Every structure is written in C-alpha cells, then in structure tokens.
Amino acid sequence: MALNPCIDTRDVRFCLFELIELDKFAKSNSHYSDFDKDTFNEFLDLAERIAVEQLYPASVEGDKSGCKYDPKTKNVMIPEAYKAPLNAFYEAGFMGVIDSPDIGGMGLPHVMGMATNEIFCTASYPAMMYPGLSHGAMLLINSFGTQELKDTYLPKMTSGEWGGTMCLTEPDAGSDVGALKTKAVKQADGTYKIQGQKIFISSGDNDYYDNMIHPVLARIEGDPGGTKGISIFIVPKYLVKKDGSKGEFNDVVCSGIEHKMGIKGSATCSLSFGDEGKCIGYLLGEERKGMKIMFQMMNEARLGVGMQGLAISSTAYHHAVTYARNRLQGVHVTQMLNPEAKSVTIINHPDIKRMLLWMKAHVEGMRVLSYYLAHNLNLAEVGDGEIKKEAQGIVEILIPISKAGNTDTSVLVTSEAVQVYGGYGFCADYPVEQMMRDSKITAIYEGTNGIQSMDLAMRKILMNPEQYNYSILKKRFKEVADRAKGIVEEKYITMFEKGLQKLDEVIEMMKAQMAGGKFMHLFMEATPLQQAMHRLALAWAHLWSLTVAIPKMKELVGDLKGEEREKLLEDNYEAAYYTGRVLSAQFYLGYEFPKFFGQIESLLFQETAVIKSSSPVFTGALKE
C-alpha cells in the first residue's frame, strides 16, 4: 500500500473495516446492501488520489495568497489554487457521498462520509470549508424546505454550481445567539423582507460559486426575544427565475472579510442583508422554530469540526514523522560519551520518539472516536427500536466531547509537530507552522469549546432524563472493557474500569450541586469535566483497538525479538502497522490516561477560588 505525505489511509481502513466492520454492517442493512468492501475501497482510493494529487499542493498556496476583497465591487476572491481541486471533488460526486440518491447523492454510510472528508481535510481543511458549509445548508433545505425550495436549490448545490453558508453570528450575538437583531417582515406574498448584519460568515461571498444560498437566523417582527423567537430563512444572493436560472441581485452585500491568523484561504465575511430594503427570504419550516432547525445543521457541523481537529492533527503528525526520519542531529543516547560517534536522525532520540508516540496515540484515538460517532449518527437514522434510541443517546453525549476534545487536542498536537521540527518548525517555509495557526479556530467556531462543555455537563448529562445518555455511554465503555479481557493486559483494563468509577463520583457530586442550586460550581466544572471525558473516551478507543491489533500483531510478529523483529518491521508494513498500533495504545493507556485521575481529583477537591474571583480581582493590578 502506498504511503503519502499527509494521509493515514491504513489507519482509516483499520477503523472502518476492523473496528466498525463496515462491510458487515452494509451487508446486514437494506439501505447499504449494494455496497461491499471493494466499493468502499474504490471510494477511498479515489478520495486519496484527488486529495494527494490536487488538494494537498493547493494548501500552502491557499495560505499564502489568502482571500481578497474588492471594496468597489464588494466581491470576494478565493485562492485560485483551490478551484481545480474543488472541481475535482464535485465532479467525482463527493459532495453527496452520504446523501440519498433522490437528491443526487451516492447514499453511502455516514462513516464513509467521515472517512472521505477526513482524507480531503488532511490535505486542506480550509479549502474544504466551501463544500462543507454548502453541504450543511443543502441538508437543511432537504429536511425542512418546501418542495419548491428543494427543486429550486438542491440540484445546483449538489453539482457545486451554487454554494451555501450558515448565518448565525452578529456583532452582539456570538455565543448568545438569542441576542440576534436581524429582523424579518412578512410580505403579502408569503415571503419575508430580511434586514440585518451577520459577521464571521464562512464562505459568505466568493468567486467559486455562481450564487450563494444563505440559511439566516432572524426574528420576525413582533416575535419574543431570546432563542424562542428565532426563525430561519433561506436567503439567496441572487433570486432565482422561474426557469431555475440566476435572477436579480437580492440585496445581500459583503461589506468586508477578516484578516486571520489561520485558515486564510477560507473567506470569513461580514454580510449586510437588506440595506436597500430589497432582500427577500423564504421561511424554512415553521415560524419560531429556527433554533431547532438550525440544530440539525449544527450537529453535522460539530461532528465536522471535531473531524477537522482530527485531520489537522493527523497531517501534522505525519509531517513530523517524515521530518524526524530525515533530520540528522546529535548522537545516539548510547553513544553520547563517544567523541567519534556519528549523528543520527532525530527519530532515534527518546524524547522525539515520546513526542511522536504522543501525537500518534492522540490521532488514532480521535479517529476511532470520530468514526464511531459518525456510525452511531447513521444508526440513529436507519436503526430500529433500541438500536436507534441508544445510538441517538451516544450521538448526543459524544458530539460535544468530540468537538471540544478533538479540537483542543489539535492545538496541542500541531504545536508538538512544530516542536519536533525545532527552529525550522517556527518558520513559514515549513508546513507545520501553518497547521498550528490553522488549528486554533476549530476550538472557537461552531460553538466555543466552553459552550460545548456546558452543553455536555448540563443538557447532555445532568438535565438528560435519568442520565440516559451517560448510562448508555458507560454501558458501551464497559462492553469494550469486558471484550478486552483475555486479550489486553489486565493492568490496562483495571485502570480503565477504575476510571469509569471515578467519573461516577464526579457526576454524583455534580448532581448534588445541581439539587443544591450551586450553578456557579457546575458551570465552572464543565470544561474540566469535558476534558476528563475526552481522555476517558480516547482510553476506551485504544482499549477497543487493542482487542483487534494485539491478535494481529501476534500473528504477524510472533515471538521475534531484537534485530530479527526490527528487520521484520522494516520489511513487512502490516507487521509494523499493528505493532505501532499496539504501542501507541499502550502508551496512551499507561502514560496519558493516568492524568485522568488527576483531573478527577481536582474536580472532587471543589476548589472555589474561581467562584470568589470577581472582576476587581483581575483588574486590581491595572488601576493607578
């Protein structure tokens, strides 16, 4: 199997076929029985080819040229280098990879969408923001739009002629979406006049698509304040004529773009709707149901952003490995007193190996978590009875953990990649500097990680009836611990099981705090809880992986030791792969996971300094 510079398609296949057993799932489910492992592999190969040959070379160029805004025409130009790979992506049909054939999709299982998207995003996730946002907008129209809206917009959005966005944020309404001021006024013909300002809108305007279709959150005149009074409208940049072609300008103006630390090729736009009083919007679904509807897109988007965290980490790790295998510096630690010793490549130094294994373990754990989540999202749609109910519970609890946990981790992993490169890593001539800059936004947009953590602690656990989501998650975690018995060394399983018990202690403590109305405590604890649960989830992912990787490693490597083992690993890629998978899992469980217990103890300690720290505590030193 060919290796490429940025994408670990071997590990992608491990997750798909050896953990999730996608081919078996497809065979047993009538929705997917037309597909088999060969077909899935063909899609993966095609995605890899487009990603490696076309998208990856555009990544650096996209960062260098960035997006440009013309204040005269109010148009936005995206990096030229993105256009051909995006065309290839659309022409190969990847826009509709998991969509129903009714709307021009290929109808593959969700986890294949996750895998192909990961492959494209490892090559350039800023470029993939364009079809990514469009896809979310398309699905909203498909789920909630009238037949007329579907017929008008979906075919051209699937083909890539037109693009889509997601318009929530305003200058005074970021995390607090309910504070939005954009208004809608109903017209006699049933349409609405839209007026307001949206900021930070990804792909808001660009010269790639011929028309932009904006799902816009707004408040109908007279409706209540807060999130309850929000409705959602489809607002095209250009209206559409009866024959389906692009019509008159719809008074949607881009007033500028942001100059950012990363994802420079993704246009982040300020949009003015209806400055001239001529902007028309079409209601999506029912009035005042905007937040509920938008949540569908937000779930997909949060899953996607968690995947971006995985993808940018994976590519940073692969670059760091390649660099470490080539950079000569220092002598081997066993030769440090030998003045004649020759320099070795830095991958031989224990500290570099530790950093690489740390990155590898996080990347692989995040991949299992993301793919498992996508698969459960699928089961929540096509499964029956209990399977469907449980899958929905798993999705609800894992979405904030994967979004926040993966993206925070991506900032650390990309930073570690820079560290492996040394001084060169800090320089723009080497790619990891860009990756570190690109990673940070994933922790901020699509609901900051603080907001995700509050969602996890409150809505997904404490306020969830009888903590159903949490109990299903624990049930799944315990199943893996049981399966690991007899395969995985007892010490790892015991520690994982102890971790599950300790988490229970924290949840019980938080339940008591909630009963006592201690909301300051609860909200202060949300992020540390999310971080601990992400660590526990990755430990589960590695335990699960070991149940498959250990038998395979034993089969391929046997009892070989020393030089014989080294030679086999050099010559036999599969033996090296499974050995690496076992070592990174053991490293995670034995080195990284114990930190979970420190996180739990710090929560149980109930330190209240945060609660006592009011604003003057922070500003006191600044006063004259």
Ligand X SMILES: Cc1cc2nc3c(=O)[nH]c(=O)nc-3n(C[C@H](O)[C@H](O)[C@H](O)COP(=O)(O)OP(=O)(O)OC[C@H]3O[C@@H](n4cnc5c(N)ncnc54)[C@H](O)[C@@H]3O)c2cc1C
Annotated active-site positions, please? 446
Site residues for ligand X, 515-544, by CB under 6 A, read none
Figure out which of the listed residues 194, 218, 441, 557 binds ligand X, where binding follows CB under 6 A.
441
> Could you give the CA distance from residue 477 to residue 541 in angstroms, rounded to a whole number?
9
Q: Which of 417, 462, 418, 412 is nearest to 592 (CA)?
A: 412
402 in contact with ligand X (CB under 6 A)? no
Q: What is the DSSP letter of 145?
A: S
Figure out which of the listed residues 297, 356, 451, 457 binds ligand X, where binding follows CB under 6 A.
451
| The one segment of 200-208, 342-350, 392-400, 418-426 that binds ligand X by CB under 6 A | 200-208
State the DSSP string of 240-307: E-TTSSEEEE-SEEEEEE---SS-TTS-EEEEEE-TTS--EEEE-SSTT-HHHHHHHHHHHHHHHHHH
What tokens does 345 get?
């490549």
Residue keyed to tokens 């007892």: 490
450 in contact with ligand X (CB under 6 A)? yes
> Could you give the CA distance from residue 530 to residue 452 in angstroms, rounded to a whole number?
8
The 10 Å Cβ neighbour count of residue 562 is 7
Task: Kindly determine how many residues on this chain lie close enough to bind ligand X according to the rule CB under 6 A.
Answer: 21
Figure out which of the listed residues 7, 19, 111, 167 binds ligand X, where binding follows CB under 6 A.
167
- DSSP-derived 3-state class of residue 487: coil
Task: Report, in Å, the least distance between residue 451 CB and ligand X.
Answer: 5
Figure out which of the listed residues 168, 399, 529, 557 binds ligand X, where binding follows CB under 6 A.
168
Task: Report, in Å, the least distance between residue 198 CB and ligand X.
Answer: 7
| The one segment of 3-11, 88-96, 371-379, 447-455 that binds ligand X by CB under 6 A | 447-455
Site residues for ligand X, 265-284, by CB under 6 A, read 268
Q: x-or-dash pattern for ligand X, window 243-262, by CB under 6 A?
A: -----------------x--
Task: Report, in Å, the least distance between residue 437 CB and ligand X.
Answer: 12
What tokens does 461 get?
């656990």
Whether 217 contacts 182, CB under 8 Å: yes
* Nearest-CB residue for ligand X: 174
Whether 398 contacts 302, CB under 8 Å: no
Task: Report, in Å, the least distance between residue 186 CB and ligand X.
Answer: 24
| The one segment of 117-125, 221-229, 448-456, 595-603 that binds ligand X by CB under 6 A | 448-456
Any residues with CB less than 8 A from the CB of 432 and at least 6 apart, and which?
Answer: 316, 319, 320, 414, 417, 418, 420, 421, 425
What tokens does 42 get?
């063909």
Figure out which of the listed residues 122, 182, 195, 202 binds ligand X, where binding follows CB under 6 A.
202
Task: Report, in Å, the least distance between residue 179 CB and ligand X.
Answer: 10
Strands 211-220 and 162-164: parallel
Sign of CA pseudo-dihedral 400, 403, 404, 406: positive
Task: Report, in Å, the least distance between residue 448 CB and ligand X.
Answer: 3
Residue 270 or 392: which CB sits closer to ligand X? 270
Task: Report, in Å, the least distance between residue 349 CB and ligand X.
Answer: 37
The 10 Å Cβ neighbour count of residue 82 is 27
- DSSP-derived 3-state class of residue 109: coil
Residue keyed to tokens 């579907």: 150
299 in contact with ligand X (CB under 6 A)? no
| The one segment of 196-204, 249-257, 291-299, 340-348 that binds ligand X by CB under 6 A | 196-204
Identify residue 606 by its one-letter amino acid code. Answer: Q
Figure out which of the listed residues 47, 166, 297, 368 binds ligand X, where binding follows CB under 6 A.
166
- DSSP-derived 3-state class of residue 520: helix
> Could you give the CA distance from residue 432 to residue 327 in angstroms, rounded to a whole number?
15
419 in contact with ligand X (CB under 6 A)? no
Figure out which of the listed residues 179, 444, 524, 576 binds ligand X, where binding follows CB under 6 A.
444
What tokens does 440 get?
């940070």
- The rounded radius of gyration (Å) of the Cα atoms in the chain is 25
Whether 82 contacts 64, CB under 8 Å: no
Residue 263 or 280: which CB sits closer to ligand X? 263
124 in contact with ligand X (CB under 6 A)? no
457 in contact with ligand X (CB under 6 A)? no
613 in contact with ligand X (CB under 6 A)? no
| The one segment of 109-117, 194-202, 233-241, 476-484 that binds ligand X by CB under 6 A | 194-202
Q: Which helix (H) or strand (E) holds 38?
A: helix 37-50
395 in contact with ligand X (CB under 6 A)? no
Task: Report, in Å, the least distance between residue 439 CB and ligand X.
Answer: 12
235 in contact with ligand X (CB under 6 A)? no
Residue 392 or 452: which CB sits closer to ligand X? 452
What tokens does 163 get?
């693009």
- DSSP-derived 3-state class of residue 345: strand
Residue 268 or 434: which CB sits closer to ligand X? 268
Residue 57 or 178: which CB sits closer to ligand X? 178
174 in contact with ligand X (CB under 6 A)? yes
Q: What are the residues facing 252 on neighbouring strands? A: 273
Residue 205 or 390: which CB sits closer to ligand X? 205
Q: Which of 583, 572, 581, 575 is nearest to 555 (CA)?
A: 575
Site residues for ligand X, 479-498, by CB under 6 A, read none
Q: Which residues bind ligand X (CB under 6 A)?
A: 165-169, 174-175, 200-202, 260, 263, 268, 441, 444-448, 450-451
